[in-house]
Amino acid sequence: MDLKGYNPFKMAQEQFDKVADLLNLDQGVRELLRNPNREYHFNIPVKMDDGTTKVFRGFRVQHNDARGPGKGGIRFHPQETEDTVRALSMWMTWKCSVVDIPLGGSKGGVICDPHNLSKREQEQICRGWVRQIAHDVGPLRDVPAPDVMTNGQHMLWMLDEFETIHGHRFPGFITGKPVGMGGSLGRTEATGYGVIFTVREALRQMNIQPEETTASVQGFGNVAQYAIDLYQQLGGKVICVSCWDQGDQKSYSFRKLTGINLNELRSITDHFGGIEKDKARELGYDVLPGEDWIGQEVDILIPAAMENQIRKDNVKNISSKVKIIAEGANGPTTPEADEVIQRNGIFLIPDFLANAGGVTCSYFEQVQCNMNYYWEKDEVLSKLDIKMTSAFLDVCKLAETKKLYMRDAAYVIAINRVAQACKDRGWV
């Protein structure tokens, strides 16, 4: 990933400024919404397995809570930065708003690499993170969730620490928990399925049958795997996926022109989404450079990995055959690349709409925890489909009516709702 000169928060602000001009927002609203309401930066000292003490840097950024308690994941990543967390918290505000759920935007993170940490060390980081922020988060204030390289076990350790500190049971404090411990059925599939619900609707708009299409996917973590799963159920064919190789510290693309076998690849994938190269070759996959996912002759591209993946330097590699880009990741496309995508007439489903299935299902989990009544999986996924489809159609209708790029239309709806909530509260 090319990080030279890349600042995700600056990119998020540029995206906001563009739409603020479209909406003619007054200066007070702009100043309130283009920066986080609150930020927490703290140290997390951990006694390591070898007896030494290591200090990890943790963050929680609360961008805006005018529409409800903050909502957003906690990611563990060695390249985590304050500006990444700031950008993600802003995108969470727009994400909750565009699908019209009563939550605001937050994000958290710790600079660490779970690949190199024992389970005990990871648990201590989780508990240490909560100890530093326990009085500034909670089910009625700010609700965390899993993100990159965190999972249900991490959330459960955090929940246990939060409940120990406060002396009560608060299952709605955190989402993405294991099923049976307050987690929701369908949450694992939600983000990836949500991406494909929007792709399905885009194909309907174009009068294209899913079984007539092919796709290339960047990433092979939870979001990518379940996006591939549902897309294949609809009849589509994925010919290429890419993933990060922890050992080589670089990414690779895995291509099979007859279509990948999802279960086959899952069987040779570690729990961080890394595919074993040698075993993939034995199974007939072409092992290509990581960037090659973007240049495949397919109808649909699904970036479902990290930020800053479709850029000015590689957007030209996108095939003229590509009709749809569905952003499963947060912030995968830079503004410079966006201009090229728009000029080339590619139908783009923006990140904070396409991948909103995760936060929507997290909201469902929170509702279920608060009323202590849990829905069956089919009910969860049905409600998710209705919510995602409704949001997509609202954005699509505005884009058509006002002749707007899909990203701009989604921002107009999301920012309008948040700005109105701030005005209704008398903040501006």
pLDDT in tens, 328-342: 998 899 999 999 999
Which of 170, 224, 214, 228 minimizes the C-alpha distance to 323? 214
Provide the 10 A C-beta neighbour count for residue 312. 14
d(CA 428, CA 30): 10
Domain final position from 136, 158, 182: 182
pLDDT in tens, 46-103: 999 999 999 999 999 999 999 999 999 999 999 999 999 999 999 999 999 999 999 9
What 3-state class would DSSP assign to 382? helix
Name the pLDDT band for 2 (thresholds 50, 70, 90). very low
Residue 67: the pLDDT is: 98
Let me know if residue 5 belongs to a domain. no
d(CA 187, CA 192): 10
Q: Could you tell me if 173 and 188 lie in one domain?
A: no
- Between the alpha carbon of residue 362 and those of residues 73, 103, 116, 335, 343, the distances in Å are 10, 11, 29, 29, 35
Provide the 10 A C-beta neighbour count for residue 408. 20
CB 95 within 8 A of CB 71: no
In the chain, pLDDT over 70 holds for what percent of residues? 99
CB 277 within 8 A of CB 247: no
Residue 249: the pLDDT is: 84
Q: Give 41's strand partners.
A: 59
Let me know if residue 22 belongs to a domain. no
CB burial string 269-301: b at 16+ within 10 A, e below = beeebbbbbeebeebebeebebbbbbbbebbbb
pLDDT in tens, 246-261: 778 899 999 999 999 9
The residue range of the domain holding 355 is 184-428
* Residue 100: CATH number of its domain: 3.40.50.10860
pLDDT in tens, 9-41: 998 999 899 999 999 999 999 999 999 999 999
Q: Could you tell me if 138 and 277 lie in one domain?
A: no
- The DSSP H or E segment spanning 422 is helix 406-424
d(CA 239, CA 322): 13
What 3-state class would DSSP assign to 68? coil
Residue 270: the pLDDT is: 86
Which of 237, 220, 410 minimizes the C-alpha distance to 304? 220
pLDDT in tens, 72-85: 999 999 999 999 99
Residue 204 has pLDDT above 70, yes or no: yes
* Residue 228: CATH number of its domain: 3.40.50.720
> Can you state the angle between helices 82-98 and 406-424, rounded to 10 degrees?
90
Domain final position from 150, 182, 214: 182
Let me know if residue 329 belongs to a domain. yes
Let me know if residue 302 belongs to a domain. yes
CB 302 within 8 A of CB 181: no
CB 64 within 8 A of CB 421: no
Measured in residues, the chain has a length of 428
Write the burial class of residue 23 (CB in 10 Å: 0-12 exposed, 13-18 middle, 19+ buried): middle
Let me know if residue 87 belongs to a domain. yes
CB 93 within 8 A of CB 122: no
**Known catalytic residues?**
107
Mean pLDDT of 385-390: 98
Let me know if residue 135 belongs to a domain. yes
Domain final position from 136, 151, 182: 182
Let me know if residue 29 belongs to a domain. no
Structure tokens at 154: 């991490």
Q: Could you tell me if 201 and 150 lie in one domain?
A: no
Longest dimension (CA), the chain: 63
Residue 279 has pLDDT above 60, yes or no: yes
Q: Could you tell me if 304 and 422 lie in one domain?
A: yes
Q: Could you tell me if 171 and 204 lie in one domain?
A: no
Q: Could you tell me if 231 and 360 lie in one domain?
A: yes
Q: Could you tell me if 259 and 269 lie in one domain?
A: yes
Q: Could you tell me if 191 and 153 lie in one domain?
A: no
- Between the alpha carbon of residue 125 and those of residues 38, 118, 172, 197, the distances in Å are 22, 11, 21, 36
Residue 1: the pLDDT is: 41
Strands 237-245 and 214-218, by their bridges, are: parallel
Instruction: Count up the domains in the chain and report the number.
Output: 2
Q: Could you tell me if 349 and 426 lie in one domain?
A: yes
* 51 Rama class: left (phi>0) / alpha (psi -120 to 50) / beta: left
Q: Could you tell me if 216 and 240 lie in one domain?
A: yes
Q: Could you tell me if 172 and 55 lie in one domain?
A: yes
Q: Mean of the per-residue pLDDT values for the chain?
A: 95
Residue 355: the pLDDT is: 95
pLDDT in tens, 281-310: 999 999 999 999 999 999 999 999 988 899
Structure tokens at 260: 């990948």
Q: Could you tell me if 173 and 190 lie in one domain?
A: no
d(CA 346, CA 407): 12
